[in-house]
Amino acid sequence: MSIGPVQLLVLGFRHPHFHGEIIAELERLRESDTVRVIDALAVYKTADGELEAEHLSNLTEDEAIELGSKVGALVGLGFAGEAGAAAGAQLGAAAAEDGISVLDEPGAWDVLSEIPPDTAAALVLIEHHWAVPLRDAIGRAGGFRLADGFISPLDLVGIGLISAEEAKELHDLETAAN
């Protein structure tokens, strides 16, 4: 099975007002074969910095069994007590034997530390199905990814893509909790 490019989204919520809109949109994207949610966690960081986590997902039961807790393993958040931590350690050791390091190099993204105290976060690991043909075409042409990232709406003003007013509205929407 060929997997598309995978992205980890970390979305913060100070006082969440969930009405099913986010899950509905993820389901719409799944049905259109645009993205697949590989795994998702809801994480709450208490005022004392303690973490509480719960799985969220629109995977089928078979997919969930096959994939397991990928977000937890990726960000170092163990589940199922010592057994879960041991399983995560075994997966990490196996990857290290293959010369693969998972978010442990200097300057790596410490996802959990970025969640402010007394805040909820959704950690969503998505596969971009839409990008598979593009990625494969780039590979066939001898190309490869050098870098990627989302561009702030504020930076789009300078190239004339959107107005300053639109940029401010989008920036405020994206960073409302800051």
Higher-confidence residue of 136 and 98: namely 136
Report whether 52 contacts 20 (CB < 8 A): no
Instruction: Name which of 124, 134, 129, 126 is nearest 4 in CA terms.
Output: 129
Model pLDDT, residue 82: 43
pLDDT, tens only, 130-174: 999 999 999 999 999 998 888 888 888 989 999 999 999 998 888
pLDDT of 20 strictly over 50: yes
Report whether 167 contacts 174 (CB < 8 A): no
Model pLDDT, residue 81: 43
pLDDT of 105 strictly over 80: no
Q: 88 vs 7, 74, 151, CA distance in Å?
A: 20, 9, 33
pLDDT, tens only, 22-74: 888 888 988 998 998 888 888 889 999 998 887 775 556 565 555 556 766 77
Checking phi first, is residue 22 left (phi over 0); if not, alpha (psi -120 to 50) or beta? alpha
Model pLDDT, residue 113: 86
